[in-house]
Structure 1
């Protein structure tokens, strides 16, 4: 018997005992969450903010009111119009977007449990965009809020094929240095989620 075969035989003979899979049922309190309230609380708690756009309100006006009038807003959202579009040259040189103040994009769904939104490359067009901008603004339909990550991963799986996707929760942050929380350390300084009716 070769050394390789001996090693594999020993590994096979010394396997740990089989144990049952963990119970993945949600805790009782999670089922009682009001998804909207929990999402707002969680995202606010990690440095983001949520602004509701009520039925009949002008989404463009609400977005403009939320930011400084002099902001350079780059729009890759299919939901609203009237802002600067992503230039074709950015696909060859993403660094040209370094002066973008606000990136405005759609999200597929949000997760109440951790305040995250799921976005795919089809929604933000260029992978660098949500991370190179100064402020991230996300448009999210209210009915797309999910209670927890269990439901979120089921939704991701149900979406089928996509090139690249990411959960984004709040602005960029770090507390590595002297345990002092710094927002915008290596990405957007703020994250605003606009909840659509």
Structure 2
């Protein structure tokens, strides 16, 4: 038996007997309005929240914030992108995209985080390689805290999962904060009920 196989065999033989995982209790909720807590936490991390009355407003919001000629790659049916997206899209081809649009499966009030899996991103690079990320979030899909995330069946079944809190940011030893150094420069959460269609009056705001 080769040295590597002999070593691994010894490690395997020395494993302790299996035992059940301990039961981890849920901590008490901080209470309060989940949406208000989420907004405060996200803004504290450099992100922001806006309200759209309908899907058409999201397109207008993007044009107002980033310009009418902005390149958009959208992973949601509510927003038409200028670049098509499918599971076969090469990740590197998104390097020149200004705005990525994706819908979060849910948000976490405790941290202001939004949760994505490979299903939401379609191409995982969408969440990191674009300049700005616009996230649609149904207010009904807010959960209290991080502990609740790990108890969700969609978290347990996802092949890929990411909790994203605000834009990318880093600070050097002199305390200079730089956004976008390792990911998106801005993250905007737009409150929009899932399945909301175009046609309602415009209503932007927190």
TM (normalized to structure 2)? 0.74
Any idea what SS the aligned residue of 1:84 has?
coil
- The answer to which structure has the higher helix fraction is 1
| 1:46-195 map, 5 Å | 46-54=45-53, 58-78=57-77, 80-87=78-85, 91=89, 93-155=90-152, 157-158=153-154, 161-195=157-191
Q: Is the 8 A contact 2:55 2:192 kept in 1?
A: no
CA contact (8 A) 2:38 2:112 kept: yes
Provide the rounded CA distance (Å) in 2 between the counterparts of 1:159 and 1:185.
28
Q: Which residue of 1 is the match for residue 42 of structure 2?
A: 43
TM-aligned CA deviation for residue 22 of structure 1: 8.8
What are structure 1's unaligned runs of at least 5 residues? 13-20
Post-superposition Cα deviations, 1:67-97, rounded to whole Å, max 9, x if no partner, equal 322211111113x133224355963x32221
Could you tell me how far apart the structure 2 residues matched to 1:23 and 1:90 are?
40
How many residues align? The count is 178
C-alpha distance 121-23 of structure 1, shift in aligned 2 (>3 A): closer
SS of the residue 1:24 aligns to: coil
Deviation at 1:60, TM superposition (A): 2.8
Q: CA deviation at 1:123?
A: 1.1
How far has the Cα of 1:185 moved from its partner?
1.1
Cα deviation, residue 64, structure 1: 3.0
Residue 55 to residue 126, structure 1, CA distance change in 2 (3 Å) = closer
